[in-house]
Chains A and B, each alone.
Chain A
Amino acid sequence: MKWIPQEVETYLNAKEYVDTAVVPLYSVSVGGEMKQSAAAAEFITLLTSHLERQFTGRIVLFPPFTYLKNDSTEKVFNELHNWESSIFQSEFKHVFYITSEIEWRESSEKLKGSLIWLPAIPLEQMSDSQKLTIIDSQVKQLLTLFTQKWHENM
């Protein structure tokens, strides 16, 4: 479910079925790396929205967790940790973070949720149908990852 009032209402009525939160992680940089930052964000946005389409009935797609790239790692991590504890305090059993920032891989063990790191594919030169095929194949791979995780806790 998307982060819009109608769908959040559906979520509130069907809480027992929706047990997974998906949080995209974006880093924002200004200046020279602005473009890479935007490209990575585009990729993650498309991917997560497609993922939401596949798993509408089981996940809530959260608004992205956004931070400044040159902020200290510790500060950013603590902030995300806060998000995580509040999400788990509500009725979510699984949290997935989706990012293309390599830095997160180091701290993935310290998180209770699962971190999915994907290298950003530059999509700007592609036609819409090409984008769709690429994102679709990525989502297919994530599909198994998600179902595995759900099976573990059954």
Chain B
Amino acid sequence: MSKERVSRRQFLSYTLTGVGGFMAAGMLMPMVRFAVDPVLKTEGAGNFIATKQKVSEITDEPVRVDFTFKQKDAWYESEVTNTAWVYKNGDKIVALSPTCKHLGCTVNWNTDKEHPNQFFCPCHYGRYTKDGTNIKGTPPLHPLDVYPYKEKDGFLYLGKAEPRKEA
């Protein structure tokens, strides 16, 4: 036994400080967490979505890359699958949106026999060259949108498609 005995008053003040401390911490911790939450969030998610496409496997021939993400539509959350046409131009990757700039159909690569190596829209026979530029005389008036991209762990990450500046 130690010589200094704990008095009743001391014992009570220790326990009260301890318990009070826990209660204060329990109240303050969530507040702090909420306060710093936005900081943590932007760091984690980012706006780039992972695809299953390995960067090393991209060639100069456009391939279809599907990627899925969650979209909130009013109160209904659904999984949306988007597509990109991806190819390599030299050592740069080009990821084009397949949405036709005319009325929004999906364009396909190299499906029109009369005009090989072009993007072709089956709806109104719109055509784009390989770099996404609309061909004069066909319905589309703007070039195809371009996805910004990132490379991470060897896989391709795509952002939100942006309209390309007119050449």
List A residues at the B interface (Cβ < 8 Å): 10, 14, 17-18, 53-58, 128, 132, 143, 146-147
Contact = CB atoms under 8 A, between A and B. Distances in A.
B68 interface: yes
B105 interface: yes
Given A17-B103, A132-B81, A55 B66 contact: no
Contacts of B136: none
Contacts of A132: 66, 81
Interface of B: 66, 68, 79, 81, 99-100, 102-106, 121-124, 139
B122 A55 contact: yes
Contacts of B105: 54-58
Nearest to B105: A57
A7 to B, nearest CB: 9
Contact of B123 (A10, A57, A128): A57
Nearest to A143: B122
A12 to B, nearest CB: 13
A53 B104 CA distance: 8
B106 A58 contact: no
A53 B99 CA distance: 9
Residue picked from A10, A14, A54, most chain B C-beta under 10 Å: A54
Contact of A18 (B100, B103, B106): B103
Given A54-B105, A57-B103, A58-B105, A147 B122 contact: yes
Contacts of B99: 56
Contacts of A53: 106
B68 A58 contact: no
A57 B68 contact: no
A18 B166 CA distance: 27
Nearest to A20: B123
Nearest to A10: B103
A128 B81 CA distance: 10
28 contacts: A10-B103, A17-B103, A17-B124, A17-B139, A18-B103, A54-B105, A55-B105, A55-B106, A55-B123, A56-B99, A56-B100, A56-B103, A56-B104, A56-B105, A56-B106, A57-B100, A57-B103, A57-B104, A57-B105, A57-B121, A57-B123, A57-B124, A58-B105, A128-B68, A128-B79, A132-B81, A143-B122, A147-B122
Given A54-B105, A56-B103, 18 more contacts: A10-B103, A14-B103, A17-B103, A17-B123, A18-B103, A53-B106, A56-B99, A56-B104, A56-B123, A57-B100, A57-B103, A57-B104, A58-B124, A128-B68, A132-B81, A143-B122, A146-B122, A147-B122
A56 B81 CA distance: 16
Contacts of B123: 17, 55-58
B95 to A, nearest CB: 18
A54 B106 CA distance: 5
B78 to A, nearest CB: 11
Nearest to B106: A54
